[in-house]
Amino acid sequence: MATSSSLLSLFLLIHHFISSATANNLHRSRYLRPSPVLDSILDSSLTYRADSPTRFFEVTKPIDTPPAAEPFSYLVLRHQFAFTYGKPPVLATYIPPSDQGCPFGDFSNIVLEWTATCRGRQFDRIFGVWLGGVELLRSCTAEPRPTGIVWTVQKDITRYHSLLMKNGTLAVYLGNLITKVYTGIYDVNITIHFYPAGAAAGLDSSKPLRGYHSTADLILPISRKPHINDGLWFKIENSTDTESKKFRIPPNVYRAVLEVYVSFHENDEFWYGNYPNEYIKANNLTSVAGNGPFREVLVTLDRNTTVGSVWPFTVIFTGGVNPLFWRPITAVGSFDLPSYDIEITPFLSRILDGEPHELGFSITNALNVWYVDANLHLWLDHKSKRTESELVSYSSSPVAYSSELEVNGLDGKFIIGANRSISATGWVRSSYGKITTVSNQRFEFSNTMVVGNEANLQIIEQTIRYDDKVDLKTEESSCVRLVRSYKKFPFKFYSNTFDQGNETYSLVANVTLAFNEKKVVLGVPGSKLRNAQKADGYMVVKDNLVVSGLGSTSEVYRFDRNGGCYFRNVSSSNYTILYDDVRRGCGGGRREWPPLGFDLSSSGIYPFRKAFIESDEAMNGD
């Protein structure tokens, strides 16, 4: 992932490739180099027809749009991203469907579609799409080929409904640079599809508690203003850096959810593979990324209260580890990075006074650089001018952290563990009555890292468990589950590098990762997602260009909901799809499905505290 800040620094980076670079690279243990890009020599040996670009894709379930419904669609932006690095975001006027002649006023789904083509050679670039400063999509570009590539990302943006019904400004930042070597221009269309309500998608089967529908009435951006020469995200450069934004909410809010977007780059692109500082110090290593592998994104209110945390999923960008892995199947989350919701409702009493307040972000152990921003989703009580609220209880345990470090020269074994929980209870009185919200976040992290072969061999095994739980208690003292989300992110990595002299190295690597989530949200049937990927291969890199190599990827994706299921089992090697088995229904959803020859048993979703979820066990027979 290249994020160099100007033409000048791109050249600096290129210069650094030869010495030791400032950017981290998981696959280059000792002397760090940025992710290499493919040499066109490698690609041009392939005889592809210029009129058939390679289609890249991230495996995901299709969006649940109403069957046979034709959406009302329009293009909101078309742009060729060439010399956009360090420039203000590209802006477009957004006009809501009502002013575009849309024949329907109610929508079952709203879908953003990003389609892009590119040809030549280019880095994987991070980009963001914002409407009125509210982030709609965080994503990464695919790396092009001389013969051209194309890819499409579809994202359900129905939750931003209130924003999409108003005039606004769409902003897209995709920092690209063209040089003699890096020639790829990203040609992008953004289209929004509005699907009519009525022909229901058959998902909202159970009625939510009145007022607790999924889309907010107002969404406030907690992001930077777009006059800057960058994205609207905040840049967090180190562990003491806190970036914040002042905001003010209307006095009749009865629910608030903060949706946080994060991505990690340069020295922290592979944070889960960063070495403990003790190891770096013991070996006098320079230019290796440190601070160990544990990262936590903390969200604070008014600089004195931690209202929630994000322990992010390990997204690998399309140039990461070995770029040949991700052609054409890209890594889990790479084209649509996950965002993370934090229930803020218990803290409403702190911010309902009509005064400005401040939300801040900081990242434990951060190295340069993280891009973070958030959207504050607010539900308004249309029947009253103001709501009342009180924070009843709050606890945020500091991170319980453990580390066992064995350093034997350049060899080492490091075991790092961490835990945290944050909980808050508060009531809000509105025209819906007095409703108490009990919110709970729990996290567990473990990372075992082995280093050998003169620091050229690195083996990582990491697991993140991340549970969100929100309950509502009404005056009649009935208790309703608003949110249950049990996430497990297993990650395994193996990489061995061999110096071949002459500015050339070869790398053998494999990575296994999964995004698993069991989820229930009020009004939506419970779902279970298991999305596991395994990639392996080798490459020979000369002067930061991959001159030869091979990458293979297998992925098993399974989403179950309400007896329905979407299943895909797909694999690619050397740009070719080996098999692609897509099923809807999955034969009743009863089939035992793990292995791919790799261990998925440890990637099942078993919430980490038995006691914590005992009462939720019935939610989804695992």
Ligand X SMILES: *[C@@H]1O[C@H](CO)[C@@H](O)[C@H](O)[C@H]1NC(C)=O
Contact residues toward ligand X (CB under 6 A) are 45-46, 78, 96, 98-99, 115-117, 166-167, 187, 189, 237-238, 240-241, 283-284, 302, 304-305, 400-402, 417-419, 444, 492, 494, 502, 510, 512, 536, 550, 556, 569, 574, 579, 581, 593, 596, 598
Task: Give the residue with the Cβ less far from ligand X, 8 or 75.
Answer: 75
Whole-number Å distance between alpha carbons of 299 and 363: 9
Residues with Cβ < 8 Å from 224, sequence gap 6 or more?
230, 231, 232, 233, 234, 245, 373
Write the DSSP string, 437-455.
EEEEEEEEEEEEEEEETTT
Whole-number Å distance between alpha carbons of 98 and 234: 33
Task: Give the residue with the Cβ less far from ligand X, 209 or 415.
Answer: 415
Tokens read off for 183: 């020639």
Task: Give the residue with the Cβ less far from ligand X, 377 or 568.
Answer: 568
Residues with Cβ < 8 Å from 373, sequence gap 6 or more?
135, 221, 222, 223, 224, 232, 233, 234, 260, 261
Do 304 and 394 touch, CB atoms closer than 8 A? no
**Smallest gap from residue 64 Cβ to ligand X (A):** 23
Tokens read off for 538: 């080798």
215, with CB counted inside 10 A (0-12, 13-18, 19+), is middle
**Smallest gap from residue 524 Cβ to ligand X (A):** 26
Rg (alpha carbons) of the chain, rounded to whole number: 24
Do 142 and 318 touch, CB atoms closer than 8 A? yes
Of 270, 325, 264, 274, the C-alpha closest to 451 is 274
**Smallest gap from residue 478 Cβ to ligand X (A):** 31
Task: Give the residue with the Cβ less far from ligand X, 187 or 204.
Answer: 187
**Smallest gap from residue 67 Cβ to ligand X (A):** 25
Task: Give the residue with the Cβ less far from ligand X, 269 or 341.
Answer: 269
Task: Give the residue with the Cβ less far from ligand X, 200 or 582.
Answer: 582
**Smallest gap from residue 432 Cβ to ligand X (A):** 27
Of 307, 156, 135, the C-alpha closest to 234 is 135
**Smallest gap from residue 236 Cβ to ligand X (A):** 8
Within 10 A of 509 (CB to CB), how many other CB atoms are there? 21
**Smallest gap from residue 363 Cβ to ligand X (A):** 11
Task: Give the residue with the Cβ less far from ligand X, 204 or 616.
Answer: 616
Whole-number Å distance between alpha carbons of 570 and 584: 14
Q: What is the DSSP letter of 57?
A: B
Task: Give the residue with the Cβ less far from ligand X, 240 or 478.
Answer: 240
Task: Give the residue with the Cβ less far from ligand X, 404 or 475.
Answer: 404
Of 242, 260, 253, 245, the C-alpha closest to 358 is 245
Q: Residue with the closest Cβ to ligand X?
A: 417
What pairing do the DSSP bridges indicate for beta strands 411-430 and 400-408? Answer: antiparallel
Write the DSSP string, 181-214.
S--PPEEEEEEEEEEESSS--S---SPPPTT--S
Do 239 and 346 touch, CB atoms closer than 8 A? no
Tokens read off for 533: 């990927």
Whole-number Å distance between alpha carbons of 554 and 535: 6
Whole-number Å distance between alpha carbons of 173 and 156: 20
Tokens read off for 324: 């040949």
Task: Give the residue with the Cβ less far from ligand X, 468 or 555.
Answer: 555
**Smallest gap from residue 551 Cβ to ligand X (A):** 9
Task: Give the residue with the Cβ less far from ligand X, 339 or 516.
Answer: 516
**Phi, psi (5° rounding) for residue 588?**
85, 0
**Smallest gap from residue 475 Cβ to ligand X (A):** 27
H or E segment at 258?
strand 253-264
Task: Give the residue with the Cβ less far from ligand X, 234 or 432.
Answer: 234
Do 54 and 46 touch, CB atoms closer than 8 A? no
Task: Give the residue with the Cβ less far from ligand X, 14 or 209.
Answer: 14
**Smallest gap from residue 319 Cβ to ligand X (A):** 19
Do 111 and 157 touch, CB atoms closer than 8 A? yes
**Smallest gap from residue 226 Cβ to ligand X (A):** 19
Residues with Cβ < 8 Å from 467, sequence gap 6 or more?
440, 441, 442, 443, 485, 486, 487, 607, 608, 609, 612, 613
Task: Give the residue with the Cβ less far from ligand X, 182 or 612.
Answer: 612
**Smallest gap from residue 211 Cβ to ligand X (A):** 24
**Smallest gap from residue 460 Cβ to ligand X (A):** 11
Q: What are the DSSP E strand ranges found in 500-544?
A: 504-521, 524-542
Whole-number Å distance between alpha carbons of 257 and 345: 7
**Smallest gap from residue 320 Cβ to ligand X (A):** 16
**Smallest gap from residue 504 Cβ to ligand X (A):** 7
Whole-number Å distance between alpha carbons of 564 and 67: 15
Task: Give the residue with the Cβ less far from ligand X, 84 or 339.
Answer: 84
Residue count of the chain: 622
445, with CB counted inside 10 A (0-12, 13-18, 19+), is buried
